[in-house]
Chain A
Amino acid sequence: SQKIEQNSEALNIQEGKTATLTCNYTNYSPAYLQWYRQDPGRGPVFLLLIRENEKEKRKERLKVTFDTTLKQSLFHITASQPADSATYLCALRGNYQLIWGAGTKLIIKP
């Protein structure tokens, strides 16, 4: 079955630096991969979707890459700010549903 792995350890980044989060998956290659932000006690909020034929997608300070050979997506936040602190989830297309990673907690320190 499809499996997604995100770093379970929190990522601590100094304000102003680039934060990079990793999403690895096994088995077949999904056609689409999505990234979400989740704040404590709140529902996930959709950020970006990238298709398998797109190597890179950008939205403001966010950038997502998708390497189907490595079976990996990287999520970058440039010029990070304390307000970017949250848990970031990746999700990929399964047979009839999205399959979700457990998320990586990002902490941006002033």
Chain B
Amino acid sequence: DADVTQTPRNRITKTGKRIMLECSQTKGHDRMYWYRQDPGLGLRLIYYSFDVKDINKGEISDGYSVSRQAQAKFSLSLESAIPNQTALYFCATSESYWTYGYTFGSGTRLTVV
């Protein structure tokens, strides 16, 4: 099994719909992250969580919300999807935010039509 599992792998949804992307990890790390990747741009941080009770907004949190259900589970929701949220979404986990590498999931390709 993968260290970080994201579901679904691909999703097409309509404008205005609510959608949830799920992430689970088996690394046992407290820190988890949600990123968005668009062509030609670096990864941009949406939300991050340092433990179950500590959730923080990243640089592009508008239009998104998260839930940390357990140490291993971190979900991202789009409350009312819009076309410019079409992107590749990645979940990641790390032991520390800079002194160790991040482990990423395989991503969710989301298309909002």
Contact = CB atoms under 8 A, between A and B. Distances in A.
Nearest to B59: A97
5 contacts: A43-B92, A43-B105, A44-B102, A93-B97, A100-B43
A42 B107 contact: yes
B110 to A, nearest CB: 13
A31 B98 contact: yes
B45 interface: yes
Interface in A29-53: 31-32, 34, 36, 41-47, 49
A89 interface: yes
Contacts of B88: 41
Interface residues of A, number: 25
A97 B48 contact: yes
A55 to B, nearest CB: 18
A8 interface: yes
A27 B35 CA distance: 23
Interface string B90-113: 101000011111111111010000
B42 A103 contact: yes
B22 to A, nearest CB: 15
Contacts of A46: 101-103
A97 B100 contact: no
Contact of A102 (B42, B98, B104): B42
B32 to A, nearest CB: 12
Contacts of A102: 40-42
Contacts of B107: 41-43
A89 B100 CA distance: 15
Contacts of B48: 96-97
Contact of A89 (B42, B56, B99, B103): B42
B81 interface: no
A4 interface: yes
